[in-house]
Structure formats: structure tokens, C-alpha cells
């Protein structure tokens, strides 16, 4: 199946011994942090903004967060692996084919107009437009779209799979079954409804690049952009007409900085909160962040994985890929770099998620690696290139150790560090041999990410895995989901489209005086209108 929605690619984070045991409790020290500016909340982030146009949604977490402050999603994943209903009041299905989305009756645009099913249908139709050309959020499963591209015919204003029932109700019909959780995770949290009565005056061919999204005049969310620099900041002012209540804090900034600057920002008062999926606090700063008076540090669930993705077009021999896995002493990597503060796993289902299979990770066995290489006819003449995000020092160190382990069995790998934007441009390129990045799976439903990664990054999509995903999407039975996710993990362990070095839970931090705000893995901004600074 084609990718049906954007992957939840998030920023690179690492774990240290500070993540274990009693060290998760912030220490009391004399290091004081200046008081906050109570009229402004500053959110720390370590990834550049890609877009503020919801029609170009690609699922990158900074983009999701930045746009969701202005245009609410239907639902939003929360830190309990559930969903908070945002713009939608209810989403139901009787057959996993047709979904009924009912928008909240009280939901209105900032200009006072009601938010309607027509707005939602307009937004989805424009996302599927060949003139908008969103390659990331494909609607291939929606009735009325092209099976390959997920796009409609040019100029089509009536997508067959969308039926407006009444002012607040839209039916969405799919070509094949998709279970409720997969719909919520794969569609509902990434569709940010736009105001049809405003945007329909802009020619369809101009929507993707329209400057209107740089300073939208009408929004549905708690804040409205006032200015931005993609590499440095995004500034917002409160939507005083927000239908859930005007935010208590008038101004909001997303401060885009290097990971090493998050600590100084927390110290100086220039940053108030660092949600772990937005800001990567370097693991060498964990202890100091924990020691800051007036700052509360916490750790997320172990759902962030440091992973090396293998391109089967470049490394076509399964035995060679298996040898590369067997050659790695991942236990020593975790012990040496993280003092044991991470979990080992093979496959996609993270240890802290509901579908953890308990699959025993492949053990370090260099002799077996040499045997596999001999069986593959490996002569050592080939050199692979491994691209790594330059902002993740721990991952770079881990990959350097991997390089030495591979060299010991006769596999030559060159390491190249690049910035995140360049790395993502390399991802999926058939000429890219290996790619190392921290990837965070939505534990409640990793199915879309598995589909995307196997087809687009790994270029290895076994029929058995495709069948298992189809079964997952068609079922609401937990035992069926558990069985098929376990099958996919076994396939991944055997055919090695990727090597997970370890999984961990990254650090978040928040100013103690910021009431109502928690630096959770998911759902941090779901209640941002209620945040306030203690007087």
C-alpha cells in the first residue's frame, strides 16, 4: 500500500544515565533561574520550520506543532497513547470503510463564522489536488483519488469519498478497511481544517505558495502568527476570539536553537518549556538541567529509537544485512555511551508501547557475521556510506563504534554527518546506502510509519509484511493487532531493513512557575490556552 499520511518524523534525542532511577527527580541547588515574562511563553525547539501551510503538511513535528497552534487538528495524540478530540466532537465508523466526523457545534473561526463540514471537505480536497502537489500526505485510500498518487483530477472540487451530511458532519469513505485507531493516528491528527470562505478566493494553483499562510487573517486555534524566521523563531499573538477561551498568556514564541543552547535558554529565562519531541536536550546536559532551581525535568516513554535504515537497493543481499546486524555489540554501545540507560530491540514496536512483542534482539556474534559474509560471497571491495544527523552527538558516537565493529568483520563503512534537512533529502534516495536518525514511533499505531519506511526509505517491502499491515488496518481486535505487529517485527529481524541501536526516553523540561504545562512526548500544546504563569 502507498503511504497514506505523513510519518511522525521527529527530532534527534539521546538518553544518559540521568534517565534512570532516582536521577529522574530534579535536584535542589543554588543555581537560580530568572523569573519569566508572564506575557510571553517561549517554547524551545531544535529543528527548523519547514512550512506554515497545512496543505503542505508532511508530519515533521515542528511543522505539526507550529501549524496546530493556528489551525486545530481533528484529534491530537496525547501522552497516554490515546487521543484528545480537538476540532472534532466525535469520529465513528460501523464498517472501517466510512467514517463519520462530527465537528464541535461551538467551534468557530476567529472572524466569528462557524467551522463547518464544508471547510473540512474543502481542505481535504485541496490537499489531494494535483496543483497543490503534496507528496507527503497522500490520500490514496480515499474513494475518488488516484491509486498511485492519492490525487484527484485537476480542477475537481467534489471528491467522491467526501459527503457533507450537514453543517457539522462529514462522511469520509475509503477504498478498503482502516481501523479507527489508524484513522485517528494516520489522518485525523494531520488534517488541519482551513477556512473555505477565505481561501476559495485564492486560485487553486497558487495555494501551495500563497503568502496568506505567513500571516493568516482567520484561524481556528489559540494563536496567530505575527512573524517568523524558519531557522530562528516563530512568534504568535493570542486569538482573543478562540472558541475554547482566549489564551491566558498573550504571546507565544517557538525559539529555534541548537541543542547546546537549550540549557542556557532555560538558565537565562529565554526558554520556558522544552517538549522532548521539539527540543533535543543533549544528554551531557541532563544533570545540569535537573539541577536548575525553578526548572522541572522529566523523561518520556522509551519510544525514541536510534536507528540505522538500510537501503535494500544498495545492500541487496539479505545475508550481508544480517551480517551487519550480527557484527554489532549493541549491549556495549548502550553501556559505554549511555551507562545502560536504554533498551535493545529489533523491528518497529518499541518496548514501552502496547505492541511490544518481547522478541529477543539478535546477539553480538562476529563469527556468525563472517560466516554470513562468506555465504554471500563478500570480497570486502565495496564501501558503504552512512549518513548521520550532525546534531545528534550520541548517535554519531554510536555509529563510530558501529563502523569499528563492521571493519572488524570486513565491512567498510564511511561516515558522513549532515544537517537534518540534508539528511531528510537523502532519505529514500536510491543512492543512499545507510541512514542514521532518531525515529520516534507513535506507539499506539506504528502501522503508517512501518508502511512508509519499508517502501520509501528501505526499498524492501516483503509481501508478508504488506499482508500483515492490511490485516492490522482492517481489524479492531487487539489480539489480531498484537499478532501481526509481532509478525512484522520477526520479518524485520530476519530481513534487516533497519538496525535499531537502542530505544530510549528523552528529557523534557519546564519552568516550575508555568502552570498547566507539561513537557510530554505528545499532547504538550493541547491545552495551551489554559497555561499561565504563577504570580
pLDDT in tens, 69-88: 999 999 999 988 889 999 99
73 vs 187: CA distance, rounded Å: 10
- 466 burial (CB, 10 Å; 0-12 / 13-18 / 19+) is middle
Within 8 A by CB and 6+ apart from 145, the residues are 128, 139, 151, 152, 159, 161
Contact assessment for residue 348 and residue 488, using Cβ atoms and an 8 Å cutoff: yes
Q: What angle do CA 159, 164, 170 make, to 5 degrees?
A: 95
Contact 27, 290 (CB under 8 A): yes
Q: Tell whether the model's pLDDT for residue 504 goes beyond 70.
A: yes
pLDDT value for 194? 98
Kindly list the structural domains of the chain, giving each domain's residue range(s) and its CATH number in brackets, ordered by start: 54-212 (3.90.76.10), 214-298+509-533 (3.40.190.10), 304-504 (3.10.105.10)
Distance of CA 126 to CAs 88, 187, 413, 423, Å?
20, 15, 44, 29
pLDDT at position 60:
85
Candidate from 50-54, 106-110, 149-153, 426-430 with smallest mean pLDDT: 426-430
Contact 342, 491 (CB under 8 A): no
SS3 of residue 42 by DSSP = strand
Predicted confidence (pLDDT) at residue 1 exceeds the cutoff of 80: no
Please state, in angstroms and rounded to a whole number, the distance separating the CA atoms of residues 366 and 377. 17
**In this structure, are residues 433 and 312 in contact, taking their beta carbons and an 8 Å threshold?**
no
What is the SS3 assignment for 496? coil
Identify whether the C-beta of residue 296 lies closer than 8 Å to the C-beta of residue 488: no
Q: Name the residue among 10, 188, 47, 43 with its Cα closest to residue 528.
A: 43
Give the span between the Cα atoms of 304 and 116, in whole angstroms: 37
> Percent of the chain beyond pLDDT 90?
76
Averaged confidence pLDDT in the chain: 90
Confidence of residue 480 (pLDDT cuts 50, 70, 90): very high
**pLDDT bucket at 15, cuts 50 / 70 / 90:** very low
How far is 439 from 416, CA to CA, in rounded Å?
Answer: 18
What pLDDT digit, counting tens, does each position of 159-178 carry? 999 999 999 999 999 999 99
Q: Closest by alpha carbon to 359, among 480, 450, 497, 492?
A: 492
Q: What is the pLDDT of residues 263-312, one digit of tens each?
A: 999 999 999 999 998 998 988 898 999 999 999 999 877 888 999 999 99
What share of the chain in percent tops pLDDT 70? 93
Amino acid at each position: 500500500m502507498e503511504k497514506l499520511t505523513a510519518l511522525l518524523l521527529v527530532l534527534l534525542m539521546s538518553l544518559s544515565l540521568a534517565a534512570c532511577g532516582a536521577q529522574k527527580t530534579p535536584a535542589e541547588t543554588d543555581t537560580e533561574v530568572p523569573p519569566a515574562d508572564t506575557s510571553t511563553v517561549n517554547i524551545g525547539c531544535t529543528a527548523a520550520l519547514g512550512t506554515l501551510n497545512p496543505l503542505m503538511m508532511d508530519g515533521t513535528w515542528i511543522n505539526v506543532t507550529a501549524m496546530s497552534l493556528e489551525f486545530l487538528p481533528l484529534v491530537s495524540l496525547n501522552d497516554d497513547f490515546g487521543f484528545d478530540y480537538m476540532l472534532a466532537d466525535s469520529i465513528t465508523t460501523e464498517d472501517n470503510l466510512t467514517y463519520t466526523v462530527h465537528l464541535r457545534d461551538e467551534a468557530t473561526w476567529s472572524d466569528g463564522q462557524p467551522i463547518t463540514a464544508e471547510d473540512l471537505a474543502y481542505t481535504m480536497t485541496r490537499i489531494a489536488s494535483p496543483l497543490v502537489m503534496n507528496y507527503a500526505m497522500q490520500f490514496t485510500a480515499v474513494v475518488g483519488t488516484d491509486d498511485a498518487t492519492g490525487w484527484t483530477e485537476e480542477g475537481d472540487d467534489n471528491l467522491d469519498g467526501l459527503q457533507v451530511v450537514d453543517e457539522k458532519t462529514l462522511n469520509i469513505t475509503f477504498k478498503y478497511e482502516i481501523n479507527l485507531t489508524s484513522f485517528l493516528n494516520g489522518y485525523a491528527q494531520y488534517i488541519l481544517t482551513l477556512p473555505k470562505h477565505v481561501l476559495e478566493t485564492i486560485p487553486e494553483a497558487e495555494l501551495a505558495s500563497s503568502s496568506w499562510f505567513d500571516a493568516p487573517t482567520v484561524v481556528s486555534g489559540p494563536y496567530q502568527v505575527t512573524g517568523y524566521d524558519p531557522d530562528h523563531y516563530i512568534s504568535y499573538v493570542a486569538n482573543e476570539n478562540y472558541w475554547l477561551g482566549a489564551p491566558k498568556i498573550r504571546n507565544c514564541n517557538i525559539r529555534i536553537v541548537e541543542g547546546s543552547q537549550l540549557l542556557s535558554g532555560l538558565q537565562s529565562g529565554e526558554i520556558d518549556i522544552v517538549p522532548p519531541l521539539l527540543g533535543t536536550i543533549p544528554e551531557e546536559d541532563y544533570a545540569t538541567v535537573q539541577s536548575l532551581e525553578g526548572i522541572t525535568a522529566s523523561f518520556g516513554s522509551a519510544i525514541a529509537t536510534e536507528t540505522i535504515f538500510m537501503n535494500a537497493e544498495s545492500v541487496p543481499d539479505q545475508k550481508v544485512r544480517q551480517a551487519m546486524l550480527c557484527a554489532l555489540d549493541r549491549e556495549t554501545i548502550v553501556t559505554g555511551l549511555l551507562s545502560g540507560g536504554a533498551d535493545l530491540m529489533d523491528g518497529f514496536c518499541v518496548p514501552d508501547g502496547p505492541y511490544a512483542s518481547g522478541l529477543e534482539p539478535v546477539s553480538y556474534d562476529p563469527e556468525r557475521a563472517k560466516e554470513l559474509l562468506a555465504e554471500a560471497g563478500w570480497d570486502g571491495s565495496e564501501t558503504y556510506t552512512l549518513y548521520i544527523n550532525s546534531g545528534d552527538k550520541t548517535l554519531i558516537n554510536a555509529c563510530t563504534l558501529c563502523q569499528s565493529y563492521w571493519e572488524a568483520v570486513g565491512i567498510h563503512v564511511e561516515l558522513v554527518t549532515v544537517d537534518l534537512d540534508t539528511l531528510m533529502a537523502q532519505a529514500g534516495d536510491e543512492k543512499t546506502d545507510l541512514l542514521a536518525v532518531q525515529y520516534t514511533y507513535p506507539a499506539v499505531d506504528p502501522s503508517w510509519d512501518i508502511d512508509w519506511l519499508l517502501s520509501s526509505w528501505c526499498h524492501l517491502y516483503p509481501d508478508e509484511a504488506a499482508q500483515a499491515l492490511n490485516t492490522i488496518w482492517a481489524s479492531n481486535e487487539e489480539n489480531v493487532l498484537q499478532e501481526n505487529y509481532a509478525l512484522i517485527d520477526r520479518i524485520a529481524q530476519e530481513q534487516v531493513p533497519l538496525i535499531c541501536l537502542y530505544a530510549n526516553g528523552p528529557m523534557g523540561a519546564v519552568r516550575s512557575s508555568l502552570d498547566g504545562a507539561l513537557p510530554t512526548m505528545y499532547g504538550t500544546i493541547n491545552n495551551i490556552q489554559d497555561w499561565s504563569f504563577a504570580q
